[in-house]
C-alpha cells in the first residue's frame, strides 16, 4: 500500500472527505482545508463560550442567561 492510499484511508477513518484524492498532494490539500475549517469553527465556539462565561451585558445572549422566569403566570 502506497502513502497516498494510507493517507486516504486515515482520512476516511477520521470522517474526513478525501476530495478527488488522485495524488498525495490532492489529499494533503483537502486535509489542510478541513483542518483549517475545523480550527475556525472551534475558535468561534470557544469565543462564544468565553462571552457567556464573562457574562458580558452587551452580549445579545446575556439576557436569557440572567433573567429569572416569573413564578406567577397571572402577571404575564
pLDDT mean by block of 10 residues, the chain; 76 residues: 93 91 92 87 75 60 52 54
What is the reported pLDDT for 30?
93
C-alpha grid cell, residue 48: 462564544
pLDDT of residue 63: 52
Q: pLDDT at position 28, please?
A: 94
Tell me what pLDDT residue 15 has.
92
Residue 25 has a pLDDT of 94
Q: What is the pLDDT of residue 10?
A: 94
Residue 24's SS3 state is: helix
Q: What predicted TM-score, i.e. pTM, was given to this entire model? A: 0.55
| Burial environment of residue 26 by CB neighbours within 10 A (0 to 12, 13 to 18, 19 or more) | middle
Amino acid at each position: 500500500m502506497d502513502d497516498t492510499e494510507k493517507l486516504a484511508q486515515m482520512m476516511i477513518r477520521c470522517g474526513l472527505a478525501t476530495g478527488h484524492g488522485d495524488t498525495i498532494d490532492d489529499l494533503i490539500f483537502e486535509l489542510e482545508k478541513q483542518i483549517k475549517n475545523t480550527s475556525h469553527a472551534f475558535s468561534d465556539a470557544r469565543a462564544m463560550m468565553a462571552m457567556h462565561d464573562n457574562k458580558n451585558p452587551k452580549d445579545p445572549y446575556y439576557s436569557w442567561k440572567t433573567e429569572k422566569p416569573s413564578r406567577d403566570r397571572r402577571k404575564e
